[in-house]
Structure 1
Amino acid sequence: MALRLVCDFDLRKDVLPGLRARRAASLASGARGGGPGILEDNYESLRILNVERNGNIIYTYKDDKGNVVFGLYDCRTRQNEHLYTFEKDLHVISCSINSERTLLAASLVHSAKEGRKNELQLGSKCLTLLVEIHPVNNVKVLKAVDSSIWVQFLYPQVESHPPPENHLLLISEEKYIEKFHIHVIQEDGNKVVLRDSGHLPRERVAEDFVWAQWDMSEQRLYYIVLKKSRSILKCIQFSANEKFNLMFEAPLDITLSASGFELVNFGCDDLQDQGNLSKHLTLCVFTNHTGSLCVCYSPKFDSWEKITYSVFYFHKGHSKTFTAALGSVDSLVTKGLTFLNLDYYVAVYLPGHFFHLLNIQHPDLICHSLFLTGNNEVVDMLPHSPLQSLSGSLVLDWCSGKLYRALLNQSYLLQFLWNTQLDCEKMAVLHCVLSCGRDPRFLEAKIIQWISENISTCHSFDLIQEFIIASSYWSIYPETSNIDKLLPYSSVLTWNTEIPGITLVTEEITLPFMKVHSFKGYWEKLNSNLEYVKCSKPCLLYNNSMVKREWHSLISEEKTGRRRSMVYVRNIFDNAMKVISNLEARNLEPRLTPLFQEEDYHQRLLIGLMVSELREHLLRHLQGIEKKKIEQMVLDYISKLLDLICQILETSWRTHHLHPWVLHFRRASAAEFTVFHIMTRILEATMSLFLPLPPGFHTLHTILGVHCLPLHNLLHYIDSGVLLLTETAVIRLMKDLDNSENNEKLKFSIIVRLPPHIGQKICRLWDHPMSSNIISRNHVKQLLLNYKKQLCMLLKDMTTWMQNLWRKQL
């Protein structure tokens, strides 16, 4: 399946065996009734309560007396620890522990003997308790109310030194959030107790909200308030310095009820009816390290024929509403939509119906996202139980008690790339595989093999172009997040082909209003993205148009005998040498193809010019980055471009078992025809984007062309510019071909097409009367030109003498 769920924690494997072992030991010792911590036979009460920022998992169960037992699973040591036991028959709503494991906060209600356990009984109280557990000591009541309360300790950014004060969030069903300040002191060695437990300072963080989400990894609180029937998304950032700031406000074009109340990621919320999630809306906020901010929203389902959901790409300034046809009306939707954060992607799936991978870094074109329907096996292989996306790539399955790490399955995606027939899916999977970033050399080799065998099967875009541009982009993307605004991510600018089963509506949205003025880390990147959208600047993506003009200008000057400053030209060739040296240093394996073994003036000129232009482009728009780092990025980027072309050629040669030097002259084999076709496609791809080629490419291409093409086709390719006659290629032709009738025609046809300064040099290498005739004719032509020049100078001197003589006579 496209999504691989790696299980990091399983209640039944990581907790249950230890509990059963404790029970067996207790029974063997003759204990009656089992004692605290003994699990009943059916272990139905064992469930996860919370996952803390450090990865530790709090779980609970009831012993044979009905007492509530709290345990903790340490994700680093993979050991279980007993935390506390309440000797009462209670039901736990929420629980959290501080980073030092000295304080435990829990909200509990009396269990109902009949009916649903999760429902508060009329007149019952919800107790929110703070317990000293290092060692077990006092219990303090924080709240005793009729409404439900959820608790969450804040975790400081630096955990090396215990903070003097702990901070606890209390989230009330009455739509307010409070922050408690809890001072602790140490007594009698390691005994930790509350200081001034009779009075714990607190402050109001948020109120009158209808929805809230907790980001445990980044310590952020997202919540929505209603203002004049408008939904306003707000975000609070909690810092290590005990402060919190309202970071932004953003209007959302969604409808929420003023009487509604929903929490996301505040522990296990089993108060909702998990069996009828399709009756509830789904709303969640996702971010990543590049400064993206996405709000994913799915309203209540009104129809069984199609499902609609929206994604607000605030970092791009627009939203997209997707409508997916379910295909099979007979299978009713009993589960809600699941949104999962996968860094550069958001996975959206409806069990048994569809699976979508939305590209959140580059959402402009729909072809960069992957849409799989229920007919694909990937949908059936995903869990059908509700999943909760935690921070990062963690995914929690409350029903089974499993914590997963969600990863894109590279093996499946590569297999899917080989099997799919749709161009849109080829495009989406190609980018998805490259963005994985795990073992890029292996992935590139697999993709190149696929391109070599499917080079003519794609009609909506150029496979080689797309691979070269996308792979080069991803090779340096992690170095700076702003590079996506300056370097092309795709060779495709527009996409008008419909995606089967998907309709899409794109709308502009109001950008978030930042409430602070000092930004660091993620917030600095988000603010940069928002400012870029606000400025509505023209497209800053680099292209080689300036290089193209300058390159043609230098070539034209070379033909006319005029040259630029030698310093300028030398700098260009120095740039090219840096790229080639950088490329050779990164590739230690010997090459099978004869590339980089000749000067190839034109390609080195193009490489050097691209270095100059790209460096100036990045220096102009990348602020705050060292010049040396930008220069190295440019070298790495252009080296990657050339290396990818070399890899495609290497793969073709190895696949078709060509000799390292294919410069022999006989009838071409089928393998040579295939490689020549691939090289022609590479040339077409690079010419339209005006990208450089490895020096020696044109020589090799021309030699293969001589093998594979009849003379008239060969000359047509030369005249149309598909084959470029390099000095190295022509010299090899003159030396290695004999003087048979056909070869004489070939040599003569090529010589007459050479520039004069190269043609004269080449003719001297051909020991043939035709060559002597050409040399003699050129020599006579030059003598006549010189005689004409001398005659003109003589006539000019005579005219000047006559004019002077006439003036003297006057």
Structure 2
Amino acid sequence: MLLQLSAAFDLQQDVVPWLAERLSAEAAAPVTGQRAGLDPVENNYETLHVVNVERNGKVIYSCKDSKRNVFFGLYDLQTKKNEHLFTFEKDLQVVSCSVNREKTLLAVSFIQSAKERRNELQPASNCLTLLVEIHPVNNVKVLKAVDSCIWVQFLYPIDERNPFPESHLLLISEEKYIEQFHIQVFREDENRVLIRNSGHLPRDRVVEDFVWAQWDMSEQRLYYFVLKKSESILKCIQFYADENFNLIFEVPLEISFGDTGLMLVNFGCEDSQNREMLSKDLNLRVFTSHTGSLCVCYNKKSDAQEQVTYSVFYLHKGYSKTFAAEVGTLEYQSMKNITFLNLDYYVAVYLPGRFFHLLNTQHPDLMCHSLFLTGENEKMNLIPDGPLQSLSGALAWDWCSGKLFRVNFNQTSLLHFLQNSPLDYERLAVLHCVLAWGRNPKVLEVQIIQWIFENMWTCHAFDPIQEFLIASLYWKFCLDISNMDKLLPHSSLRSWNTEIPGVTSVAEEILLPLMKVQSFKGYWEKLNSNLECVKYAKPHLQYNNIVVRREWRNLISEEKKGKRRSTMYFRNILENAVKVISNLEAWTVEPRLALLFQEEDNQQRLLMGLMVSELKEHLLRNLPVQFIGKKKIEQLVLDYVSKMLDLLCQMLETSWRKHNLHSWVFHFDGCGSAGEFAVFHTMTQILDSVNRMCLPLPPGFHTLYMTLGVRCLPLHSLLRYIDDRVLLLTEKGVMKLLKDLDNTEKNEKLKFSIVARLPPFIMQKISQLWDHPVNSHIISRNYVKRLLQKHKRQSRNSTMDKSSFLIEFLPLNYLIEVLTELETARQALNPFEGCDSVDTKFVEEAALKQTTILLNL
């Protein structure tokens, strides 16, 4: 199972034992005064069911005893305790029930039984709504006595600083209006809480002429649809502790209600009796997340068919998608069982045994970031098989079994699926899901890295290293600060054109919600920010490394030419790199197996510092610094780049352990083992992935890579890697190579080939330290090359005294004559700083010595 349903409440386990114990206690006690519970006759609990789940995690349930008296109890999810609320000594069919936060008032609506309504002299109403004082049990006030059904719901203030002495109660009528009652109470004798002015309770008409409503108990919001001409308009009201209520937004949506009648969602738990009162031909849910997303999920029932069609309106993105899933032939009854579950960053849409779709609501633009499973697939099986009623706070109610579940992703199953799926679009979707919901990040990152190494060459539609780096950083850093998720990339992919078997989608633009208030707080501030970004977003809003790549190449080119910009500019960049490395070292607890961060690696430090500088400037330019703070943004940038390097280090560490290189010795002598060869190829893939995104590598990476290349590759392959600039020569690596290898013919050939390819800035240092004929040959060759490049040869007659040359070797004599003439005509700059002994005579001696070596003379 990809979803993990853990029972937070079970009627049979959490309530029945307590009721049985209570029955036994009451059977032995004398009956005096007001009844406190059930009749002391054995109860079969067939009538036991949940009627509501309140915001603070308290479950209200009801039960009838053998005399049909209705008992109301309360179970606290936090304390795991039951308590009795009230008992009606009459047979009632409960429609709805709610208790206020202080547990002093109970609101109940019920349908009277046929026996109660047979009164020829005084006809009784079909539905009664009562307000009961229960602390202690005292007065009962009739709020409504009508023939239509009424649902009740107490408001629970999110700000609970002053919850007493007023309660607010919503009454939802089947006649399509909603009222709010304001109930003031006072405390008498410190034990009795009574309603003040119970004869006249102030009330407001909140909504009129609505056709559908959904209650969000966690955030105290009311979503509802009204029909205006030919349009269906979704509206939302937010209830506050210190205010009355506000209409927050409205938006027209293409949803057909037809003659479905009144529809209510999450106003109590739906039992078999109440479900018959509400139309179920239309399946409609509104879901939000703390990141400011707002989705409307919609499924219209139709006759039996081979496709299930449903729509998701991504209101925070400005478009909708209509999905069609292939499920085979279905009966009408099966079509009713489609379930929508809110999972914060995701919405799950499933039909047991047929399909399971996990829609990424944070980034729904590419289908590969959502998981689509159809057909007979064990991964889509859920517990239970029936539909679940999605509640706020990652809770789901199964009215068939009487269980309340906490819904989470099953990380073990997700990782298993990631490891075994051969399909790229499934891998992408599951990878993002694991990173978004992963627990124990260090362990999770190691498991994903292991999967990457095993599937590095089997992913064709995306680069797993790139996607892991970008997605990990996104899900770790981009959701805590408003708008950060729009400024930093969430994926390495720009587009996805591959079809996904079993499902198709059609996208359409929709109108953005019209916000009806001026000031926003909390979730509404984030939603409004999302809407503003959709309205005014520009292509360059999301950060990329194009500027960093261009600037980095310019700096390297200038450095090779001996040019440098202002000292202050370089100092700031290098200080950024120092901060990143210090930040990363502070995270490191255990010593690293791979030899990293043991040298300067100026190029990587430049790239690191440039990325910090550009990313910081990008965020400061697009984030509200006055609210977030410049220091917080600077620290976030350092953490972002540090975490990137940390992930790259973890890749090397994991590869090191996988191939048993725990005690690997850093030297060039000898041939590489099979493990070293495998690590070298892993580093090649990491290098290629990182270079294409122009991301920095940990200092020391290239030296380590060079060492493994020398040990594992034949000379011609090694030189090809160097010439193609895949393998970069570093000062530390070359110095160690010259020191570790002796001067055998094979090693001298390797040394000559390596040194001949050194960049000038490294050659200047190596030439002074390596006293060898090969070195003299290279110095001479480079001296001649530089000298001839800087001077154009002019026509002349040779006037030199050839008798000065001791050996008659015409090609060499002619070259020496030209060089001497150039030196005489104008003083050539020495290409090797500090090597004053290099001149034409030095070149002549080096050439003759090298010739004798090659001819074995």
Give the secondary-structure state (helix, strand or coil) at the position aligned to 2:381.
Answer: helix
Q: Does 1:106 align with 2:140?
A: no
Do the aligned partners of 1:93 and 1:107 also contact (CA within 8 Å) in 2? yes
Partner deviation per Cα, 1:381-406 (whole Å, 9 max, x = no partner): 43122211111201111221111110
Determine the structure 2 residue equivalent to 1:178: 179
Determine the structure 2 residue equivalent to 1:705: 709
Q: Does 1:669 align with 2:695?
A: no
Q: Which amino acid aligns with 2:240?
A: S
Q: Following TM superposition, by how much is the alpha carbon of 1:359 offset from its aligned partner in structure 2, in angstroms? A: 0.6
Q: Does 1:627 align with 2:647?
A: no
Partner deviation per Cα, 1:529-578 (whole Å, 9 max, x = no partner): 00111114224111111111111111111111111111111111110000
Q: Which amino acid aligns with 1:518?
A: S
- What is the distance in 1 between the residues matched to 2:486 and 2:222? 29
Q: Does 1:640 align with 2:643?
A: yes
Q: Which amino acid aligns with 1:620?
A: R
Q: Does 1:92 align with 2:91?
A: no
Q: Which structure 1 residue ranges, 5 or more long, are not aligned?
A: 115-121, 795-810
- What is the distance in 1 between the residues matched to 2:379 and 2:591? 40
Partner deviation per Cα, 1:746-799 (whole Å, 9 max, x = no partner): 1111111112332242234444322233345556788998984773489xxxxx
- What is the distance in 2 between the residues matched to 1:786 and 1:14? 102
- What is the distance in 2 between the residues matched to 1:331 and 1:762? 81
Q: 1:635 to 1:401 in 2, by over 3 A?
A: same
Give the secondary-structure state (helix, strand or coil) at the position aligned to 1:427.
Answer: helix
Q: Does 1:679 align with 2:679?
A: no
Q: Which structure 2 residue ranges, 5 or more long, are not aligned?
A: 117-122, 788-817, 829-857
Q: Following TM superposition, by how much is the alpha carbon of 1:491 offset from its aligned partner in structure 2, in angstroms? A: 0.1
Give the secondary-structure state (helix, strand or coil) at the position aligned to 2:334.
Answer: coil
Q: Does 1:773 align with 2:762?
A: no
Q: Does 1:15 align with 2:18?
A: no
Q: Following TM superposition, by how much is the alpha carbon of 1:701 offset from its aligned partner in structure 2, in angstroms? A: 0.9
Q: 1:183 to 1:705 in 2, by over 3 A?
A: same
Determine the structure 1 residue equivalent to 2:758: 754
Determine the structure 1 residue equivalent to 2:55: 53
- What is the distance in 2 between the residues matched to 1:355 and 1:559? 57
Q: Following TM superposition, by how much is the alpha carbon of 1:258 offset from its aligned partner in structure 2, in angstroms? A: 5.3
Give the secondary-structure state (helix, strand or coil) at the position aligned to 2:60.
Answer: strand
Q: Does 1:570 align with 2:571?
A: yes
Q: 1:176 to 1:279 in 2, by over 3 A?
A: closer
Alignment of 1:385-396 (within 5 A): 385-396=386-397
Q: 1:59 to 1:793 in 2, by over 3 A?
A: closer
Q: Does 1:731 align with 2:735?
A: yes
- What is the distance in 1 between the residues matched to 2:484 and 2:112? 56
Q: Which amino acid aligns with 2:230?
A: S
Give the secondary-structure state (helix, strand or coil) at the position aligned to 1:481.
Answer: coil
Determine the structure 1 residue equivalent to 2:549: 548
Give the secondary-structure state (helix, strand or coil) at the position aligned to 1:235.
Answer: strand
Give the secondary-structure state (helix, strand or coil) at the position aligned to 1:333.
Answer: helix
Determine the structure 2 residue equivalent to 1:2: 2
Q: Which amino acid aligns with 1:394?
A: L
Do the aligned partners of 1:110 and 1:125 also contact (CA within 8 Å) in 2? yes
Do the aligned partners of 1:760 and 1:775 also contact (CA within 8 Å) in 2? no
Q: Which amino acid aligns with 2:102?
A: E
Give the secondary-structure state (helix, strand or coil) at the position aligned to 2:507.
Answer: strand
- What is the distance in 2 between the residues matched to 1:556 and 1:467? 31
Determine the structure 1 residue equivalent to 2:197: 196
Q: Following TM superposition, by how much is the alpha carbon of 1:238 offset from its aligned partner in structure 2, in angstroms? A: 0.3
- What is the distance in 1 between the residues matched to 2:170 and 2:590? 57
Q: Which amino acid aligns with 2:514?
A: F
- What is the distance in 1 between the residues matched to 2:69 and 2:566? 89
Determine the structure 1 residue equivalent to 2:129: 128
Q: 1:55 to 1:758 in 2, by over 3 A?
A: same
- What is the distance in 2 between the residues matched to 1:328 and 1:543? 47
Do the aligned partners of 1:214 and 1:264 also contact (CA within 8 Å) in 2? yes
- What is the distance in 2 between the residues matched to 1:567 and 1:431? 41
- What is the distance in 1 between the residues matched to 2:362 and 2:749? 57
Do the aligned partners of 2:261 and 2:279 also contact (CA within 8 Å) in 1? no
Q: Does 1:243 align with 2:277?
A: no
Partner deviation per Cα, 1:36-70 (whole Å, 9 max, x = no partner): 41475321100001011111111000111111111
- What is the distance in 1 between the residues matched to 2:666 and 2:449? 22
Determine the structure 2 residue equivalent to 1:231: 232
Partner deviation per Cα, 1:273-324 (whole Å, 9 max, x = no partner): 8699996221011111111101111111333311011111111111111111
- What is the distance in 2 between the residues matched to 1:398 and 1:763? 82
Partner deviation per Cα, 1:646-665 (whole Å, 9 max, x = no partner): 10000001110113434242
Give the secondary-structure state (helix, strand or coil) at the position aligned to 1:479.
Answer: coil
Do the aligned partners of 1:278 and 1:300 also contact (CA within 8 Å) in 2? no
User: Which is further off, 712-721 or 635-644?
Assistant: 712-721
Determine the structure 2 residue equivalent to 1:800: none
Of all paired residues, the percent bearing the same amino acid is: 66
Q: Which amino acid aligns with 2:111?
A: V
Do the aligned partners of 1:275 and 1:334 also contact (CA within 8 Å) in 2? no
Alignment of 1:419-434 (within 5 A): 419-434=420-435
- What is the distance in 2 between the residues matched to 1:493 and 1:651? 29
Q: Which amino acid aligns with 1:206?
A: V
Q: Following TM superposition, by how much is the alpha carbon of 1:670 offset from its aligned partner in structure 2, in angstroms? A: 1.6
- What is the distance in 1 between the residues matched to 2:115 and 2:24? 29
Determine the structure 1 residue equivalent to 2:223: 222
Determine the structure 2 residue equivalent to 1:345: 346
User: Which is further off, 287-296 or 169-178?
Assistant: 287-296
Q: Cα RMSD (Å) of the superposition?
A: 2.4
Q: 1:399 to 1:777 in 2, by over 3 A?
A: closer
Give the secondary-structure state (helix, strand or coil) at the position aligned to 1:471.
Answer: helix
- What is the distance in 2 between the residues matched to 1:111 and 1:743? 101
Do the aligned partners of 2:234 and 2:253 also contact (CA within 8 Å) in 1? yes
Q: 1:4 to 1:162 in 2, by over 3 A?
A: same
Do the aligned partners of 1:180 and 1:201 also contact (CA within 8 Å) in 2? yes
Give the secondary-structure state (helix, strand or coil) at the position aligned to 2:396.
Answer: strand
Q: Following TM superposition, by how much is the alpha carbon of 1:453 offset from its aligned partner in structure 2, in angstroms? A: 1.4
Determine the structure 2 residue equivalent to 1:64: 66
Determine the structure 1 residue equivalent to 2:806: none
The TM-score normalised by the length of structure 1 is: 0.93
Q: 1:224 to 1:275 in 2, by over 3 A?
A: closer
Do the aligned partners of 2:301 and 2:335 also contact (CA within 8 Å) in 1? no
Among candidates 735, 744, 751, match of residue 748 of structure 2? 744
Q: Which amino acid aligns with 2:660?
A: H
- What is the distance in 1 between the residues matched to 2:514 and 2:105? 37
Q: Which amino acid aligns with 1:26?
A: E
- What is the distance in 2 between the residues matched to 1:273 and 1:131? 22
Q: Following TM superposition, by how much is the alpha carbon of 1:173 offset from its aligned partner in structure 2, in angstroms? A: 0.2
Q: Does 1:649 align with 2:657?
A: no
Do the aligned partners of 2:159 and 2:241 also contact (CA within 8 Å) in 1? yes
Give the secondary-structure state (helix, strand or coil) at the position aligned to 2:628.
Answer: coil
Determine the structure 2 residue equivalent to 1:804: none
Q: Which amino acid aligns with 2:66?
A: D
Determine the structure 2 residue equivalent to 1:791: 825
- What is the distance in 2 between the residues matched to 1:476 and 1:641? 11
- What is the distance in 1 between the residues matched to 2:114 and 2:422? 57
Q: 1:277 to 1:165 in 2, by over 3 A?
A: closer
Rg comparison, structure with higher value:
2
Q: Following TM superposition, by how much is the alpha carbon of 1:232 offset from its aligned partner in structure 2, in angstroms? A: 0.3
How many residues align? The count is 786
- What is the distance in 2 between the residues matched to 1:274 and 1:653? 60
- What is the distance in 2 between the residues matched to 1:72 and 1:28? 23
Q: Following TM superposition, by how much is the alpha carbon of 1:723 offset from its aligned partner in structure 2, in angstroms? A: 0.5
Q: 1:123 to 1:134 in 2, by over 3 A?
A: closer
Determine the structure 1 residue equivalent to 2:843: none
- What is the distance in 2 between the residues matched to 1:331 and 1:175? 28
Determine the structure 1 residue equivalent to 2:839: none
Do the aligned partners of 1:353 and 1:373 also contact (CA within 8 Å) in 2? yes
